[in-house]
Structure 1
């Protein structure tokens, strides 16, 4: 359809134009205090038929496919970046939020939908299930550059990375109950445990296989390693889907395993996936923006219904679900309030809203428009105020210092060595010491020190300071010894 309208050259230009608009939107999103997804969606709606009329797009199946592919990439990148040590500390509450939390949210929101809209109970609960989960794309993008406390960030990211199976299960379950007289709730429940359990096991297995393959296979070009890594993301999702397990959960778990393992060309893989994830995020939200027709989304009846449902979701359903899901867990009242407020809705509810349309359920288009409005409301109200809420609740962490530099000289697969990047903090024993005073392991050498924006040439008398990024060339055999030296705390010194 697009090729026929624009021709190949025009289509290529259009894709480039949309990506440039997305990049500009991402650049200004933080200055405007808005989540980038809002501006991406706005770009899609602006160039759509109800805006500038450049593109007419109403293919729900293609939008659904693009959304699923993009979510695979985004979940994979989020899992790669997550630190297992942090995730492990919040595993129990995150799993509780991802299962019981989604269920309670869907139930309470569905009850409100039944009272607000002229629908059946099953249709109301279907609506609640669709908006019941937080969105990985929205949460990852919103928290990435914000200095929220690590515990809060890890909880929200782990929840959003693992709650899709529950939302997908509930959505498909209610669709089947609506369209089929033969479906039974008791017959569908075991499939949930199958999806979660097998998805988890498959993610662990393929993740281990992936990092071993990445390290063992000797490829001709270093540029092939990031492609090999992301290929495993799609393999993982497909393998899980073939056996009716949760592909999204499997992808996130596999990425956690890969990202927390020793990898050849680690930084190239991370940087490549970050770029691909941004591209996927931009294109997904623009496509979803194209799929929504503003004249239909912003009808007065949809605005009124959407606002009422959003208020229930944000101020009643989500907080109750969070407090019930974290009973007897080590979270303060303020932390629970923040987790409640930071439960952003995004691409997942919009993608799930296409499922009833594809299934041919009557009134599904109206559901889509209202859900689209609910997502926008969540992103605008919650996403734009996350930092302020965290600050008022005293949950801001140290300013994130993300390095915009990396050194990757050789592959450990070919030379059995690697360049380790390590940022010092004030508790590290090596801070304040000179290089010749530090007992580095055999076959290790400081390649460079980056201090702020300055590259410091390392000499024996060079003193290590707090916040320095150390780049150390070390033999794989002595990697663990090096990390013991670097991670040694001052209070551990004899």
Structure 2
């Protein structure tokens, strides 16, 4: 009977946490506050130093949940990222994710050594923990903000690939602290193995997953999203088993899967988006429960945390961005924005549990300092990203995110799919009537959504910029259909000029 009561209470608790998280996400959008701040506050308020509803002091479990949540968030972020966009910024992103993290960690470490009464290795541990930007914070903050594509791609690619460096530095320094006879140079080959093997594993499993999703005909459409999540966990587990970077492998695998033509594509994407949100809510609330405000808001933590936040935001990050992007095609305004948008979030907090679990002296103190830095970063940088982008003239067109009630389906057994296509203003089909558009065989426009209004298509319907077309197409002709729809006006101008020159 006792176990039943405990189970019921646990389920009630999860329900209240998720409801609080969803309402917090809605409220954060209205006031322009990063949702992670409200999630953390919900956890802190529910904890023993708040209303005392929940007592939680288990860093091992928090670490487990945090890693699982980060895998889901990285996987969803990779699925949504277009490889063509990432390819254009891959060099600066990798530079920021490696050299940038190293420089940031070193500068913060020197500041921590001067501010706190700790050893040099402990100072470098603090620097390593806060050295990387956070995928959960960056993805969530930039998702619906109209930041220029180049800036968004750089920040998302950096945050998706810089976790391996932060994890490597954190684990390596903990090893140096706990086992002083460890040779520093012996850690270098480990880093290259983690990065290289993680990259290869991500590519291989990403291709296997794409092939399996498309070729295995499952009995229920609801199994395909679960299939994709299984591959995400398989990727992380495989990489970790061979001591490679699981986070990098998951992000790369998601890039491969997301940029492949998939059956049940939209079901997979929508499921993973919801699952990533749930993971994010649970992770941040749990991390909020793990911290005790009475220990967090002490003079030593507040004063030292503010000084370190100042160094991180205004010195370490800008210097790292400036040096990591030397010779790359970024203006001073763009570098300034990249510096300011280097948000800290779940990754530093999860990494801050590593010293506690490993038994490092003053591990709880380091956790509180890192937690305070993350709160400061989210409050100061997260709330002002849109304002800074406007001041630097780095805003792009408003993002069109469809919220339509049309059910997107993929009929695997019938080899057909309902495809969604957004009409950009530079496409050749803009202004054309449906009857004049040359669609491939077995492709029919089932609906058009214009300004959130459903339009029933017929031959005389004119296609306009901003329309969302919903086209039922045979899987066999899907690529051909996309090529036809994505033809640019510039291509037409070239064809016309060539025709004129030939006639002359």
Q: Map Cα deviations across residues 287-320 of structure 1 (whole Å, 9 max, x no partner).
A: 0000000000000111000000000000000000
Please say if 1:481 is aligned against 2:480.
yes
- Structure 1 gaps, min length 5: none
State the partner residue of 2:364: 365
State the partner residue of 1:429: 428
TM-score normalised per structure 2:
0.96
1:377-388 correspondence to structure 2 within 5 Å: 377-388=376-387
Q: Distance in 2 between matches of 1:410 and 1:287?
A: 36
Q: Distance in 2 between matches of 1:349 and 1:4?
A: 35
Q: Distance in 1 between matches of 2:490 and 2:328?
A: 30
How far 1:44 sits from its partner (Å)? 0.1
Q: Distance in 2 between matches of 1:417 and 1:246?
A: 37
State the partner residue of 1:318: 317
SS at match of 1:382: helix
State the partner residue of 1:408: 408
1:334-345 correspondence to structure 2 within 5 Å: 334-345=333-344
How far 1:6 sits from its partner (Å)? 6.6
CA contact (8 A) 1:407 1:471 kept: no
Please say if 1:248 is aligned against 2:247.
yes
State the partner residue of 1:446: 445
How far 1:5 sits from its partner (Å)? 12
- Alpha-carbon RMSD across the aligned residues, in angstroms, is 1.2
State the partner residue of 2:350: 351
Q: Distance in 2 between matches of 1:477 and 1:359?
A: 54
State the partner residue of 1:231: 230
SS at match of 2:190: helix
State the partner residue of 1:394: 393
What is the number of equivalent residue pairs in this alignment?
491
TM-score normalised per structure 1:
0.98
1:464-479 correspondence to structure 2 within 5 Å: 464-479=463-478
Please say if 1:297 is aligned against 2:257.
no
Q: Distance in 2 between matches of 1:107 and 1:230?
A: 36
Q: Distance in 1 between matches of 2:26 and 2:56?
A: 26
Q: Distance in 2 between matches of 1:166 and 1:256?
A: 19
How far 1:181 sits from its partner (Å)? 2.5
SS at match of 2:449: strand
State the partner residue of 1:136: 135
Q: Distance in 2 between matches of 1:237 and 1:83?
A: 21
Q: Distance in 2 between matches of 1:5 and 1:54?
A: 19
State the partner residue of 1:309: 308
SS at match of 2:454: strand
SS at match of 2:398: coil
More divergent stretch after superposition (415-424 vs 85-94):
415-424
How far 1:351 sits from its partner (Å)? 0.5
More divergent stretch after superposition (199-208 vs 402-411):
402-411
